[in-house]
Each structure stands twice: as structure tokens, then as C-alpha cells.
Amino acid sequence: MDKQKAKQIGVDLQEAVSSVARAHGVTAQVRGGVFDPSGLLTVRVEFKEAEADRLLFERFATQHGLQKEDFGRSYESGGRRFTICGYNYKASKNPILLRDSNGTIFTTTAEAARMHLGSTVKLTLTDNLLGGQR
């Protein structure tokens, strides 16, 4: 197997897993892989429920001074439009996920998201430790 064949397998695999995902009411994405010139191709496939991004954002939003309703809200910055589309709980500095009009995903701080959305919430260390609740 050569590199070109491995790429074609990845494309075909995406079509196949998308069909399986639709049958189970979820989405699927081939998320890259590793090709070894000896002929081994290892591919990562991610299955996700349709509402997973929204639910994860809603779970953690208030810990960062954002509202659950901020998911899906958009703002303009640097002449581009960004929409809040998720939360990365593994990212301590830039946990808020944004999608631009081209579909590219970016990360930002919760403070920057609050500023662009017009929120005046200021968090203290106590707020962060208590998950934004007193």
C-alpha cells in the first residue's frame, strides 16, 4: 500500500462510517491516521451525538461567566464572524470553541468571548473555585 492508496481508503472510510452513523442517529468523522510505509494504516474515527457540543458547553459555561444560551451566538472580530460552537474541557487557557464563516474551528479564552458578546461579568478566584455559583 502506498500513501495515495491510504488517502483513498480514508475517503472511502468516511463514507462508510457516515452511513453507519446515520443508522444510529449520530455523526461520524475520520480524524486522521498514521500511515506506515510497511503497509499499516491506523485511522481514528470519532462518533458523536448531535447535541454533544451544545450539552458540553452548557455544562461548563457558567464556570466561565458565560450563559448556557451563549451557545450558537455570534460576534464579529477583525472583520470576521465567529459563532460559539463548543467547549474543550481539556484546554485550561482557551476552552471556548468558535467556528468562522468558512467552517474553521478556533479557540479563545472565556474572557475574550464574554467581551465580544458584551457580557460585563467579572469572575473572581472564588467564583472559579465554586463553578461560578455562590
**100: in domain:** yes
pLDDT at 39: 85
Q: Give pLDDT, residue 127.
A: 46
Dihedral angle of Cα 106, 47, 68, 104, to the nearest 10 degrees = 20
User: Does residue 30 sit in the same domain as residue 76?
Assistant: no
Run of H or E residues at 110? helix 110-117
In a domain, residue 134? The reply is no
CB of 123 closer than 8 Å to CB of 65: yes
Parent domain of 66: 52-129
What cell does 112 get?
475574550
Same domain, 42 and 62: no
Same domain, 35 and 66: no
pTM of the model: 0.67
56 and 114 share one domain: yes
Judge if 91 and 107 occupy the same domain. Answer: yes
Q: Are residues 61 and 111 in the same domain?
A: yes
On whether residue 38 sits in a domain, the answer given is yes
Cell of 72: 450558537
Same domain, 15 and 65: no
3-class SS string, 37-100: CCCEEEEEEEEEECCHHHHHHHHHHHHHCCCHHHCCCEEEECCEEEEEEEECCCCCCCCEEEEE
Using pLDDT thresholds of 50, 70 and 90, give the confidence band for residue 31. Answer: confident
Judgement on whether residues 56 and 38 belong to the same structural domain of the protein: no
pLDDT tens digit sequence for 50-90: 899 999 999 999 999 999 999 999 999 889 999 999 999 99
Q: Are residues 38 and 61 in the same domain?
A: no
Domain count of the fold of the chain:
2
121 and 57, same domain (yes or no):
yes
Percent of the chain with pLDDT over 70: 88
